[in-house]
Amino acid sequence: MRRSRERPGTPAGIRVMERLDELAACTSELSALTRLYLTPEHSRAVAMVRGWMEEAGMSTEVDDAGSLVGHYPGRVPDAPVLLLGSHIDTVRNAGRYDGNLGVVAAIEAVAALHAVGQRLDFAVEVLAFGDEEGVRFPVTLTGSRSLAGTFETPNLDALDKAGISLRQALLDFGCNPDGVAHLGRDPAATLAYVEVHIEQGPVLEAEDLPVGVVTAINGASRFKVDVEGKAGHAGTVPMDLRLDAGAAAAEMILAVENVAASAGDLVATVGTCELRPGAVNVIPASAHFTIDIRSPDDGHRLDAIGALKARFEAIAERRGVTVTVARTYDEAAARCDPRLIGEFKATLGAMNLPRRLLSSGAGHDGLAMVSLCPIAMLFVRCRGGISHNPAEAVRTDDVSTAVEVLVGFLRRLPCPLSKLPA
């Protein structure tokens, strides 16, 4: 892997990094960054980011889902609006760049336009969503699903660990919970949604590239697998007479790795595994494990799921055990718009930067926003591909590059998108 020493960033990149340091102070813990949805720390972050939006020439409001919206008018009053942004909530003990970078970089891009008095043919809105991580409540993407018009009203009754409902938390935040169902935007009045985000993976760093253009947010499926065998004494049952659920599960887990490794654009993970009764001198009577499988191509993902189920059945039959596979989660891939990808590639070409395309293995607000409008993403290199961790790190010069690319993209983008080649 080639490594290059970080160069100082432009004033824009330096300012973004300084603001991200300030934003990291909005936390519920002294020794860690934890900023959950609709908490006092979230409110402090909204106030801070709101001030930066207004400095950049935007009017601001907090909608009924707790999302902060900054509006920068365009030259054509009735033109569709371009949406930029990301989220400002975090996981527990988080890094300071996941989500937050996309919001602050978008503000900086608008500030660059405002500094020279430039208005585009379309208005730009910067969004600071508050529930991308889904940590506080057993729901997620509340802000983006609301704008996309896909929020499910029963989610207002979801409870956090303290027994506080999402409805009550919204009221405490100063929002009207009954208004969330009415936040859906008009697709005809929405140009696109564009997000800058750290890669959360090692590809750009391995190739010594500052940024990359996302082709799709991977679709994902999750399963709970139960294998049933027969318990027996570890010392008295011969190997050829065992109905060992643990050994069968081990073979199935290796099949997961094998299928994913041979699929090319697919990843699969067994994140948990439990053997019962769980005694050192007892042959496992049952095994229980989970599968997380993701791909930017839904067809490949579904084919792999079918192949795994067939492999599991064959393993179970040969070993004299039974297997049950239950789907617990399913999300289709969100394809980025080819026209927007093309504009990002053209912007990178004009800046003499490599035009690296890659998919996102992690979920983002774009998973919801694709129901509303075309989406696009620009990834920024992060050290070691580490995310959701205090060790999360980006380079100032890479952040500068990302802001410059975003500004160039905005200046190139026509309205409507139909003016671009498909």
C-alpha separations of 120 from 57, 194, 412 in Å: 13, 16, 10
Q: Tell me if 63 sits within 8 A of 183, measured CB to CB.
A: yes
Strand bridging mode 211-217 / 357-360: parallel
Q: Which two tokens stand for residue 194?
A: 């564009």
Q: Tell me if 10 sits within 8 A of 16, measured CB to CB.
A: no
CA-to-CA distance for 214 and 211, rounded, in angstroms? Answer: 10
pLDDT score, position 58:
98
Residue 335 identity: R
pLDDT score, position 5:
60
pLDDT score, position 10:
86
Residue closest to 92 by CA, chosen among 297, 319, 389, 307:
389
CA-to-CA distance for 26 and 328, rounded, in angstroms? Answer: 34
Residue closest to 109 by CA, chosen among 206, 6, 194, 18:
194
Global pTM reads 0.89
Domains and CATH numbers, the chain: 11-218+333-419 (3.40.630.10), 219-331 (3.30.70.360)
- Which residues contact residue 419 at a Cβ distance below 8 angstroms, ignoring those fewer than 6 apart? none
C-alpha separations of 183 from 164, 216, 297 in Å: 23, 26, 30
Q: Which two tokens stand for residue 40?
A: 């006092």
282 burial class (0-12, 13-18, 19+ CB within 10 angstroms)? Answer: middle
Q: What is the CA 214 to chain-centroid distance, rounded?
A: 12
pLDDT score, position 1:
35
pLDDT score, position 6:
67
CA-to-CA distance for 88 and 379, rounded, in angstroms? Answer: 17
| Positions in the chain whose pLDDT score sits under 70 | 1-7
